Amino acid sequence: MILLLGGARSGKSDTAVRLAASAGAPVTFIATAEAGDAEMAERIERHRAQRPTEWTTVEAPLDLHSAVGSAPPADYMVIDCLTLWVSNLLGHGRSGRDVLAEARRVADLLWERPAVVVSNEVGFGIVPANELARLFGDTLGSANAIFASAASRTLLMVAGRAFALPSIDDALAVE
């Protein structure tokens, strides 16, 4: 599994689509967005239009575990994105602890599968002033760390460029 992290409009989704298209396998695309307003519906449609029509798309705004578990084992999977999935779960009353337990379950399913997972890195800014925003940032950051620990590679996307992030073991290794 590859984890793609980055800010808004950093090229995460485009890179995920490129990785999947070059995988040489059928693709299951798991979308977590919900069209809560007209702008989001338009955004979802733009993303759909960028994907090859032969890919299978699964809408999974809440039950990511079932979506991943039901994808054919030979398929390359794209999950776009953890950010919206975490937001959806918190918005439906799930606790941060519950979200992280679910993140671990999904990451465990993906550990040895060919997949790319997209998520935003939201920890570069200031600590938010309200409780819900802090809960979201803390939960997403911890979920990203769970997926990074299960990933074979983690890339940070900035302005359409990918930077490889070493594991903590690699970063601390003494030569």
Token representation of residue 154: 């983690």
Query: Which conformational region is residue 144 in: left (phi greater than 0), alpha (psi within -120 to 50 degrees), or beta?
Result: alpha
User: CA-CA distance, 50 to 141, in Å (whole number)?
Assistant: 28
Which residues lie across from 120 on neighbouring strands? Answer: 6
User: CA-CA distance, 115 to 83, in Å (whole number)?
Assistant: 17
Residue 92 annotated among the catalytic residues of the structure: no
**Which residue is it, tokens 């979920």?**
143
| CB distance 27 to 56 below 8 Å | yes
User: CA-CA distance, 37 to 52, in Å (whole number)?
Assistant: 25
Phi and psi at 28, nearest 5°, equal -110, 120
Exposure on the CB side of residue 14, measured as CA atoms within 13 A: 11
Identify the active-site residue in 11, 23, 44, 47. 47
| CB distance 16 to 76 below 8 Å | no
Residues noted as catalytic = 47
